[in-house]
Structure 1
Amino acid sequence: MNNFTFYSPTYFAFGKGTEKEAGRLIKRFGGSKVLIHYGGGSVIRSGLLDRVKESLNKENIEYIELGGVKPNPRSGLVYEGIDLCRKEGIDFILAVGGGSVIDSAKAIAAGAMYEGDFWDFFEGKPIEKALPVGTVLTIAAAGSEGSGDTVITKEEGMLKRGAGSEVLRPKFSILNPELTQTLPAYQTACGAVDIMAHVFERYFTNTKEVEITDRLCEAILLTMIKEVPRVIKDPNNYEARANIMWAGMVAHNNLVGVGREQDWASHGIEHELSALYDVAHGAGLAVVFPAWMTYVMKHDINRFAQIAVRVWGCHMNFANPEETAREGIERFKQFLKSIGMPTTFKELGAREEDIPLMVEKLGLGENGTIGSFVRLNSKDVENIYRLAL
């Protein structure tokens, strides 16, 4: 296990009706004038936004609103939010929605405290200061409610990039599983794949002797395998929704990633898909990950065989562990299909002729690589896209 530091200070309020605590928590963490940031009409139609605003009114907290966040959140609204925060003297941002809303809120929070272009942070500049952020989560997926990460799409060139800093970890996050019960099955499944992908990015590592985090990763994956079919069958299953919602947070606050080298190639490869076609991130990951697994599997057959046995219930073939590894990947693909996810370019609506463009936009050039488990160059990425056809 590698040396590490781990600091995860987010306060979590979990359970039924917890959105009513938003005002009290904002006051606890020093907010006095708030930007409420949200997406489309669902938070309005459901009455969630009104309940949140009522909780702020009870605490005499002033607020303004900025809606309109789209999936794969855009830079244009981030610029608008930054200008609004500066003009109105905002000292706290409350994100009401899913990962896209939270990511947009984090980008605004960083940009509002920076004199330059916020996109500098998505090209490598460290984020040192940000307005405090709180969240009211409406979908279990991205894990942004517990992480210091954010992903934004720059509309000029449609470049999808990530940034991160400990200062972006939310001060508090409100997690009410009831708020996810109205999600369509497809959106629920996309979120589930995102959660599992965050675990895979950490599980496939070159670091040796990481049994504790291996087992934590496996526990999250087993939970998803059990609970996702239950909520697809019965969207109102609160207990299954609760397990999925907490799994989403634990999968990405880095508890399961400490002390081990992490990969993140598949996320980078997928970002070009969702940037170009505007597909759901989880759906893109469902296409990319089995292809990536197939391509890199021989780098560490035993690790792939281990997850096949421990998570997918395969029988270990000691004479031919590659057979076990391949069976595990196939069972993963069958699970994806069983919850309504695509596993090929065709199902996603992606086109073979766009592969060179996606490889180019990834920006690796002639000598650059992506990933750590296996360092992939541009040709490797092209091969993975073609495996997904």
Structure 2
Amino acid sequence: MQSFTYSIPTKIFFGKDQVNVLAEQIREFGGSRVLLVYGGGSIKRIGLYDTVTKILQSNNIPFFELAGIDPNPRIETVRQGIQLCHEHKLDFILAVGGGSSIDCSKVISAGYYYENDPWDLMIGKVKASQGLPLGTILTLAATGSEMDFFAVISNLETHQKIGLGDPVMFPKFSILDPTYTYSVPHNQTAAGTADIMSHTFENYFSSEKGAYLQSRLAEGILQTCIKYAPIAMRDPENYEARANLMWASSLAINGLLSLGKERKWTCHPMEHELSAYYDITHGVGLAILTPHWMEYVLNDSTAADFKDYGVNVWRLNSEDDSYKTAHLAIEKTKEFFTSLGLPSKLHEVGIGEENLLVMAQAVTKNGPIGEFRHLNTEDVYNIYKAAL
């Protein structure tokens, strides 16, 4: 196991009615004028918008709204949010929704103190010096953005979807009430589960063999998704299922699983290109790519890892040959995603061959991706083709 430093400064309030701490938490972190960021109409349909705005109003906390955040948040919206903060002298950002609203808010936070275009932060031209304090109220178990310092933003003009990680973007607090996910539709529950599992896979499959505990934790998160996603889809208001998926979402990507390992991901950067060109749902793209990536990287050096996955997660026969178990585990993964109603091929979401090579080149423009097995442009292109 490699050496590491670990710090998660985000305060978590988990469970029913934790929104009642909202006003005191905003004030604890110096908030007096708030930018309220949210997506579509879901928070209004479930009554959360009314709950939040009444809390702010009753505590004499002025707020201004940035609504309509896209599922793949755009840099244009980030620019708009920064402008609102400057115009109205806002000193706190409150993101209410899923990962898209939170990611957008994070880059607004980081871009507030930067005088030029916030896209410069995304492409690594500059580094954020500080950020406006940010709080979140989560309504979708998927990205884990409520408990990490990462954000992904799209620029449709340049066909780029880029991730940024910076400690200034850690939320100060996050309110996680599983009842706010009761209204999440089947397709979003499915895609969110695929996202959680992909975050876990990216940390789980590693050339580092000494991080035993981290791998066992990852297996527990995968088993949680496999058990509770079907229950949540059959019974959307099952608190136990929604609570376990929500906490799995946070733990999958808050750094806990990657401690002591290299963190160089593969399926996520490949999927970001799909979303940048075709604007598909992130979790859907991951569900399509993951089994094909698994088959592609399966070889003599990785077969034992896939066997561990098959035995420990899917309870396959430990006495079977490594390759047999590995192939069966990969097939189980594909079947599970399909059972949730997720597609298994790119053509099912309208993606053809036309941009595969240019996307593969974009993924690897800074060199090979991945740590479990390094992938060059040809490798990524071959995975895309296999997924067609």
TM norm structure 2 = 0.97
Tell me how far apart the structure 2 counterparts of residues 290 and 153 of structure 1 sit (CA, whole Å): 25
Aligned residue in 2 for 1:388: 387
Aligned residue in 2 for 1:349: 350
Please state how far the C-alpha of 1:127 moved relative to its aligned partner: 2.8
- 1:300 and 2:302 correspond: yes
Please state how far the C-alpha of 1:217 moved relative to its aligned partner: 0.3
Per-residue deviation, residues 99-144 of structure 1 (Å, max 9, x unmatched):
0000000010011111222112211233331111100101000000
Aligned residue in 2 for 1:123: 123
Q: Does the CA contact (< 8 Å) of 2:345 and 2:387 recur in 1?
A: yes
Tell me how far apart the structure 2 counterparts of residues 99 and 196 of structure 1 sit (CA, whole Å): 15
Aligned residue in 2 for 1:182: 183
Q: Does the CA contact (< 8 Å) of 1:23 and 1:58 recur in 2?
A: no
Tell me how far apart the structure 2 counterparts of residues 194 and 256 of structure 1 sit (CA, whole Å): 15
Q: Does the CA contact (< 8 Å) of 2:229 and 2:241 recur in 1?
A: yes
Alignment: residue pair count: 386
Tell me how far apart the structure 2 counterparts of residues 50 and 27 of structure 1 sit (CA, whole Å): 20
Please state how far the C-alpha of 1:317 moved relative to its aligned partner: 4.1
Per-residue deviation, residues 282-325 of structure 1 (Å, max 9, x unmatched):
0000011111111112141111110111001111245x311111
5 Å matches for 1:1-389?
1-124=1-124, 125-298=126-299, 299-317=301-319, 320-362=321-363, 364-365=364-365, 368-389=367-388
Which secondary structure state, in structure 2, belongs to the residue aligned with residue 291 of structure 1?
A: helix
With 8-17 and 121-130 compared, the bigger mean Cα shift is at 121-130
Which secondary structure state, in structure 1, belongs to the residue aligned with residue 115 of structure 2?
A: coil
Q: Does the CA contact (< 8 Å) of 2:75 and 2:155 recur in 1?
A: yes
Tell me how far apart the structure 2 counterparts of residues 22 and 37 of structure 1 sit (CA, whole Å): 15
With 122-131 and 238-247 compared, the bigger mean Cα shift is at 122-131
Tell me how far apart the structure 2 counterparts of residues 182 and 51 of structure 1 sit (CA, whole Å): 16
- The residue type paired with residue 347 of structure 1 is E
Q: Does the CA contact (< 8 Å) of 1:137 and 1:175 recur in 2?
A: yes
- The residue type paired with residue 102 of structure 1 is I
Tell me how far apart the structure 2 counterparts of residues 347 and 19 of structure 1 sit (CA, whole Å): 40
Q: Does the CA contact (< 8 Å) of 2:142 and 2:249 recur in 1?
A: yes
Please state how far the C-alpha of 1:275 moved relative to its aligned partner: 1.6
Per-residue deviation, residues 180-227 of structure 1 (Å, max 9, x unmatched):
111111100100110011100000111121111011000100111110
TM norm structure 1 = 0.96
Tell me how far apart the structure 1 counterparts of residues 99 and 286 of structure 2 sit (CA, whole Å): 15
Aligned identity (percent) is 47
Per-residue deviation, residues 52-97 of structure 1 (Å, max 9, x unmatched):
1111123221211110101010011111111111121111100011
Q: Does the CA contact (< 8 Å) of 2:72 and 2:279 recur in 1?
A: yes
Per-residue deviation, residues 321-361 of structure 1 (Å, max 9, x unmatched):
11111110000111111111111112222112221232233
- The residue type paired with residue 308 of structure 2 is Q
- The residue type paired with residue 384 of structure 1 is I
Which secondary structure state, in structure 1, belongs to the residue aligned with residue 164 of structure 2?
A: strand
Tell me how far apart the structure 2 counterparts of residues 152 and 19 of structure 1 sit (CA, whole Å): 27
Could you list the runs of 5+ residues in structure 1 that have no partner in the other structure?
Answer: none
Q: Does the CA contact (< 8 Å) of 2:74 and 2:156 recur in 1?
A: yes
- The CA RMSD over aligned residues, in Å, is 1.3
Tell me how far apart the structure 1 counterparts of residues 155 and 353 of structure 2 sit (CA, whole Å): 24
- The residue type paired with residue 229 of structure 1 is P
Q: Does the CA contact (< 8 Å) of 2:33 and 2:89 recur in 1?
A: yes
Which secondary structure state, in structure 1, belongs to the residue aligned with residue 127 of structure 2?
A: coil
- The residue type paired with residue 33 of structure 2 is K
Q: Does the CA contact (< 8 Å) of 1:109 and 1:131 recur in 2?
A: yes
Which secondary structure state, in structure 2, belongs to the residue aligned with residue 256 of structure 1?
A: helix
